[in-house]
Amino acid sequence: MDDKSIKIGTNTGSSVVSGNVEGDVSSEIKNSFNKNTQKEKQNLAEAAREIQELLKELEKTYPTETTTGKMVLATETIRCIENNPSLSKRILSALKTGGVKAFEKLLNHPAASFVVGALEDWEKNK
């Protein structure tokens, strides 16, 4: 029979922890990691979808034919996000877990690069 006991200790005189391992630990860790990764991807995709919808709504008022127009649209988008605590919390959480670069890949809009730049700065300062 395999010995599945775990003994953990240090040389500094701290307690020793011992116990038995049951089941397939590596499989459990892998499954837990995959569940978290899927949830993070879903949160990131949902946050990107919300910003995408916001961009489409705001482009009706703010034209995107010029660089200045794209910058104004991005500014208004960030303002809307900041004024909506629930949305800003979801987006900030998604950015922290998924990263700005992954988020950038999910946005498809002429002003997306300006919004991503602003969000990157926003994330660093929050």
Domain spans of the chain, in order of start:
26-125
Q: Rounded distance, CA 83 to CA 50, Å? A: 14
CA angle at residue 44 from 43 to 48, to 5 degrees?
115
List own/partner pairs for 85-91 with CB under 8 A and 24 or more apart: 87/50, 90/43, 90/46, 90/47, 90/50, 91/47, 91/50, 91/51, 91/119
Are the beta carbons of 115 and 77 closer than 8 angstroms? yes
**pTM summary value:** 0.66
The neighbour count for residue 92, using CB atoms within 10 Å, is 16
Q: What is the pLDDT along the chain (126 residues), one digit of tens a residue?
A: 565 555 544 444 444 444 555 555 455 444 444 445 788 888 888 999 999 999 999 999 998 999 999 999 999 999 999 999 999 898 888 888 888 888 888 888 999 999 988 888 877 887
Q: Rounded distance, CA 124 to CA 32, Å? A: 28
Are the beta carbons of 73 and 59 closer than 8 angstroms? yes
